[in-house]
Chains A and B, each alone.
Chain A
Amino acid sequence: LPASSTLHARGFACLLYRKGWGCEQLRSDTFCALSGGPDNSCLGESKTLCSKDLEMAKIAWKYFENNYNPETGLYNAADKYKSTTMWDTGSALAATIAAKDFDLIDDKTFDDHIQAMFKTLTKMELFNKQVPNKAYNTEKGEMVDYRNQPSPDGIGSSALDLARMISWLNTLGCMHPKYAYPAKKVIERWDLKGLIKDGQMNGLYRDPVSKEVKLVQEGRLGYEQYAGKIFRELGYDQHISSTYNNEFREKIDIYGVPIAYDRRDPRDLGAYNYVVTESYVMDAIENGIDDENRPLLENIYKVQKRRWEETGIVTAVSEDNIDQKPYFLYNTIFTAGLPWNTTTDKGVRYDNLKTTSTKAALALALLFPDDPYSKELAYAVGTAYDPDRGWYSGIYESGGGYNKAITANTNGIIMSMLLYKKHGEFYPSCKQCKRGMKLETSKTKTCDVCATE
């Protein structure tokens, strides 16, 4: 420091002294020591990432560098596409936390990004003045529809999306406690009570024909439990949605492996009961692995390994953007009565466009590092990236080359997987550290609870 700065520092210190703090506390390295970040030792001992891990993280972070919008602090959900959801913003927040943790960005960049995002989150218009709209324009921060067209009234809201955002706001506040309060304020701004009923989650949408806002149960076995546990941790009643052992659980044997699925059939109720890798992986790394989800996760791994053994196809399925029509596919282990069903939102099958999902393959490999199949998975997708744009979404099973769609979700999950590798399961660690977010009881009462009181 220049001499004048030292004097100022000393003067500041002596002011403190006059208040009884004592000049003797002054140290020459004051801000060097004080600005070093929070003491996260309570989170447990962190593991060291290998050089390959960091190389993978750098590729993933490239996506977020390219798709950051400083005006709003929001990241594009897909490469150069100026739209996002709360789900994707959760993925982007995970990536930002990881980038800071891996020293891919410095404190200043990290804070600038987080502050800009908070500014948007605390001011953005809410659907029905209640909860975040399903989609926002990442440049303007305005509510849009799914075509990224302005939608002043909004199109609806997804409880699952909000859960993912809440999960990473929780982790942000946990790993960077200075953001715990603003993160909580962001969530308290949302009126979540309407979305939680009878121990389940609900979504909102505006019916395109009647224009009425409809409240509908949201979530099927898999994603439902991932999100239900997050709301439960926040203090909401999720006695159905937060457990895999609920009344809707059904079982089907695929390659002799028992796979749990939701018996609420999409052909009866409309909502799809996709069984994919992603929800189980995210549940594991964010909510933690326990006796309930461990066998399910193992079977998700096992059945894909069995398919590889039977067919020679390296299998890691999930929902993914693809780089050709129909542009988005649910590549599932099971859905709508069919195993290995690859389908669109319109329920049309595209078996010829099955892909090995990059995020699914890397996540499974990371969770089961000792299984020989994991080496196959990591090897299969290890080069599926553009060093200047990020990780591709996958590789076409039938030899169609890379699926060059590049998204926040794929790259965010890769970043969060590496963060998990370093620090372990996030919710359990944060609870252990007494840094888990809880809302006030009055804010988490649902209408059914009110009725019984």
Chain B
Amino acid sequence: MSAPLNKRLLLSLASGGLLFTPVAAHEPPTPLLQTLEKLACAADARTAQQKLDTLFNISPPGQDWPDEWLGKQPDHASLYAGTLDIALQTLLTTAKRFPELRETSERVALQWNYCDVLDDQQFYDLSLQRSELKKVLADNDVPLKWQGFRQWGFLTPDPPDRFVPRLLDEIRLAPSAYHLFLHQVYRQHCFPHPETGMLVSEAEAPRDTVEGHTFPLLVEENAQPQPYPFEWNPVCTAPKPAVATQTQTAQIVEQLPPQTGLKTQTAATVVATHSEKKAAKKTLLVQPVTNRQRVVTPVIPAPSQSPPVVEEVAATPVVPASPTNAPPFSIPPQEGENGAKGNQGKALTSAKREEGQVVLPAIVPIAAGGDIPMYIEEEESATQQAHSTTGIIDRKKKKLRLAGSFADTLSLKDGSNGLSASATWSPKPNWFISGNTSFKDGKVGYSWSVGYADNKPGGWSAQVNNWGPLKPGDGLALDKAVVNIGKKINSETLAKHKLAASSNLSIPVKGKPGLSGTLQWNPKPNWYARTTASLPLEGGKPNWNYAFGYSNPKPGKWRVEYSNYGKNNFPGDNLKDGAITVSRGWQF
């Protein structure tokens, strides 16, 4: 089915002029932009997969760049560099929102040829008319300020977390086949090199392979850049917007660079050396940029300018956004994060942590400085490779699976100071043996824990603890040990409000059992506040305790916590009886 053409663009074409005529007002989005908007707003992986599928094979005949008209108007194919910038950003966001779609997102981006759009350090808009490829200098004032190109490594400097397609970075094919694949992507499609981040035009002397236009090429040397005619304000109607993703998006907008960062061409080198990394080698060519404010008004195309409908227009209605400083677009919740289908159990393993998230243990310690340092599972490395004619390339270095911490605790109640050191060995994920030794008031004490701790939402924990402090010579003191069974609550509602909760049944070997519940709030990354209410099951008063502080869970980082682990009565507090603990953890 051929899509109806945008009338204004059609008029432009009919008049025999260039496609890129000056436009004063925003045009309705083209089919490619509509598809990208739906992809950005996809509420689940299945929908996103469908949209990604429509982005394959949308190039005009003989070309490898994506057509604004999805290849359905082969006589009038065109592409704005700004749209490709949006496409790259949307594909990257999709890969992050739906990790299972990362490979498909990468495939979409890797199928395209970027040589004509980003040529000799300039962005160009492209059009194919009457079998002639026309390139017109693109306006730098595009909606995402080349953020998409920058994130994938096309511009200088590379962001610290440059997105490198795994399909390109990992050698999954036979090396001889990989060489051909890399050649096509890097040399023939002008995609950044997976290791150096450099473009072929920067790293090597020009060669014929980057040419090869099947159509006559006309570069409008003297033409003035034409304003980008479209808006990019995907207004999604997802029922549960993910706060974290909104924040991420807002950060991206805030971090838009003051200039485009287009780079000058370096002296051609045959092959990049390892040390000649892109960031250190390139220089900036500062371009004037108009600091146009992003428009946040709703996109409601006038009937006379109705854009070609790609599909399912009714399924994702465009609704007015907040007229004030609302985020430019909101993105539906990530799967797994808010309990959507398809990703449960994949996003986080028990000890893997999201950036800035302070994991609430199902079984909370009962004394300041008494935390059990847990071994953080490393991300799966996908770099293990075999090789033609020989064998391995990369093998995961074997870890000791030891985690440890040192803590200094100052009691506000009596002014005493205590030092402690903890070590945990985790032979397998979630299983651990831990010991803690402390030095306070000239006395040495220790405690121990052993068991299983699955601290992800919904996970169970079962441990035997002797919270101590035991004195030298006490041995394991099993008669003073406590059996704890804990359960982390799995709740979308809690997660939405940055809350985590757990319950814990405590059964002393000698003593009365108790039940407790803990609620933790992570208002900002690495900041937390936590409270535990305990109820003796065989008589006795309920009590509560609390703690708050800052904790960076990464190995080698610091934690500062105020805690009051006393058996405080309901209601009331006694801040002055608490303790301040400073600790630092490692793992090997």
Using a CB–CB cutoff of 8 Å, the interface residues on chain A facing chain B are 76-79, 81, 83-85, 87-88, 134-135, 145-149, 155-158, 160-161, 203, 205-210, 214, 216, 218, 266-272, 319-321, 325-328, 336-338, 341, 343-352, 393, 405, 407-410
Cα separation A341 to B269 with both chains bound (whole Å): 14
Is there contact, CB below 8 Å, between B271 and A338? yes
Tell me which residues across on chain A come within 8 A of B173, comparing CB atoms.
134, 145-146, 155-156, 205-206, 208
B135 on the interface (CB 8 Å rule)? Answer: no
Is there contact, CB below 8 Å, between A208 and B107? yes
Known: A81-B392, A270-B183. A350 touches B386 (CB 8 A): no
Known: A158-B388, A349-B273. A203 touches B207 (CB 8 A): no
Known: A268-B209, A346-B193, A346-B194. A78 touches B174 (CB 8 A): no
B304 on the interface (CB 8 Å rule)? Answer: no
Using a CB–CB cutoff of 8 Å, the interface residues on chain B facing chain A are 107, 110-111, 167, 170-184, 187, 193-196, 204, 207-209, 270-274, 382-395
Is there contact, CB below 8 Å, between A321 and B388? no
> How far is the CB of B514 from the nearest CB of chain A, in Å?
48
Tell me which residues across on chain B come within 8 A of A352, comparing CB atoms.
274
Q: Which of A84, A156, A347 has the most CB of B within 10 A?
A: A347
Nearest to A330 among chain B residues (CB) is B175
Is there contact, CB below 8 Å, between A209 and B273? no
The binding surface of chain B is classed by DSSP as loop
Tell me which residues across on chain B come within 8 A of A84, comparing CB atoms.
386, 391
Contact of B393 among A155, A209, A328, A349 (CB under 8 A): A328
Tell me which residues across on chain A come within 8 A of B107, comparing CB atoms.
208-209
Tell me which residues across on chain A come within 8 A of B208, comparing CB atoms.
268
> How far is the CB of B460 from the nearest CB of chain A, in Å?
31
Is there contact, CB below 8 Å, between A88 and B391? yes
Is there contact, CB below 8 Å, between B174 and A134? yes
Is there contact, CB below 8 Å, between B204 and A147? no
Cα separation A266 to B175 with both chains bound (whole Å): 13
Nearest to A393 among chain B residues (CB) is B390
Tell me which residues across on chain A come within 8 A of B382, comparing CB atoms.
147
Is there contact, CB below 8 Å, between B171 and A337? no
User: Could you list 19 further interchain pairs (A-B, Cβ under 8 angstroms) beyond the known A147-B172, A328-B387, A409-B391?
Assistant: A77-B392, A83-B392, A87-B388, A134-B177, A147-B170, A147-B383, A155-B173, A158-B176, A208-B107, A270-B182, A271-B183, A345-B171, A345-B178, A346-B194, A348-B196, A348-B273, A405-B392, A408-B391, A410-B390
Q: Which of A156, A206, A319, A349 has the most CB of B within 10 A?
A: A349
Is there contact, CB below 8 Å, between A269 and B183? yes
Tell me which residues across on chain A come within 8 A of B272, comparing CB atoms.
347-349
Nearest to B167 among chain A residues (CB) is A208
> How far is the CB of B59 from the nearest CB of chain A, in Å?
12
Cα separation A267 to B179 with both chains bound (whole Å): 10
Known: A81-B391, A88-B390. A347 touches B182 (CB 8 A): yes
Is there contact, CB below 8 Å, between A336 and B183? no
Tell me which residues across on chain B come within 8 A of A337, comparing CB atoms.
270
Tell me which residues across on chain A come within 8 A of B179, comparing CB atoms.
266, 270-272, 345
Nearest to A327 among chain B residues (CB) is B393
Cα separation A219 to B204 with both chains bound (whole Å): 24
Tell me which residues across on chain A come within 8 A of B385, comparing CB atoms.
146-147, 327-328
Known: A268-B209, A270-B182. A155 touches B172 (CB 8 A): yes
Tell me which residues across on chain A come within 8 A of B391, comparing CB atoms.
76-79, 81, 83-84, 88, 321, 407-409
